[in-house]
Amino acid sequence: MSPTSATSQARELLGVSSLTNKALRTWLYGLPGVDQVGLEGRAAALATRSIKTDSKAWAIDTAIGMIDLTTLEGADTPGKVRSLCAKAELPDPTDLSTPQVAAVCVYGDLVGVAKDALRGSDINVAAVATAFPSGRATLPVKLADTRDAVEAGADEVDMVIDRGAFLAGDYRLVFDQIAAVKQACARPDDAPDAHLKVILETGELATYDNVRRASWLAMLAGADFIKTSTGKIQPAATMPVTLLMLEAVRDWRELTGAMVGVKPAGGIRTSKDALRYLVMVSEIAGDDWLTPQWFRFGASSLLTDLLLQRQKLRTGAYSGADYVTID
């Protein structure tokens, strides 16, 4: 989707002839307000749902297949990325039936290393871009960052919105930047475009109403996924925030017929937590979202606990953490 077509679609949905900041503000503030008590109560109630033993094996395998295995440190090396890719392809060397993860996520300059290591597999390579994690850069720099990752072979791009602009009420600037980055994800000819995951950094948005508005703004501008967090800011992913985002993609589908994915990232560490999220996906958005195409976990440490729980179901005994590889 080009910036022009994103703007045209947004004008049509908003029912305006010109997509101004005022028009976006009026529309976003016209969204229903969030009942904080009701939202947090529903999230807490869904967290009490249990998954029976015969369904737990399916749920654990489903969660493994939804993980974006990630390393985003200044000290990342090609060797570390290759090691992470090996784990992505073979999460549990003692059990070859273990599913592979959905993607490996790295900084843009290491995309080539990951692509080479994962050659022949179905695992995607995702790159963070647009001056991750702060988003503090000019648009030309953000677009260059994105194009570098795409040219290196990234299948997915995780961008961060300009939270300062959003909190200042400059919604048109945020919209324009997302739409421009979406265009930068395009590839020539018939090659598939890189999918765009838009990180809202919900821990900095202050209110649930802002999370709802940011979710809708990102979808208006062409996001393929909306993502909670960079993992660098606390709080990161929470169940109430993810519930809000699941409601947004569900309602977007009802409005437009198009599906958008959701990715909670940061702070999801246990199998119990992951299964609670899967229950919430099913209850709020629907089972169509229970695939890696539409739901991801940005939580690398989660994989270790999922593998240990999987081993327990298979053998009846709980192994120690040294029975799986540690990132």
Tens-digit pLDDT profile for residues 61-113: 999 999 999 999 999 999 999 999 999 999 999 999 999 999 999 999 999 99
Confidence of residue 315 (pLDDT cuts 50, 70, 90): confident
Question: Does 227 participate in catalysis according to the annotation?
Answer: yes
The token duo for 285 is 């958005």
Among 92, 158, 162, 224, which one carries the catalytic annotation?
158
pLDDT beyond 60 at 253: yes
Select the more confidently predicted residue: 229 or 319.
229
pLDDT beyond 60 at 323: no
From the list 251, 165, 170, 254, the residue with the least C-alpha distance to 215 is 251
pLDDT beyond 80 at 9: yes
Confidence of residue 4 (pLDDT cuts 50, 70, 90): confident
Instruction: State the pTM of this model.
Output: 0.95
Mean pLDDT of the chain: 94
Among 115, 176, 263, 305, which one carries the catalytic annotation?
263
Confidence of residue 327 (pLDDT cuts 50, 70, 90): low
> According to the model, what pLDDT value does residue 17 have?
94
Model confidence pLDDT, tens digit, residues 134-179: 999 999 999 999 999 999 999 999 999 999 999 999 999 999 999 9
Residues in the chain, how many? 327
d(CA 137, CA 16): 30
Residue 8: strand pairing partners = none
Mention the CATH class of domain 3-314.
alpha beta
Among 115, 142, 182, 227, which one carries the catalytic annotation?
227
Q: So where are the chain's domains?
A: 3-314
DSSP alpha helix (H) spans, the chain: 3-14, 21-28, 36-46, 53-64, 78-89, 111-117, 139-151, 163-167, 171-184, 208-220, 239-256, 271-280, 300-315
Question: Does 263 participate in catalysis according to the annotation?
Answer: yes
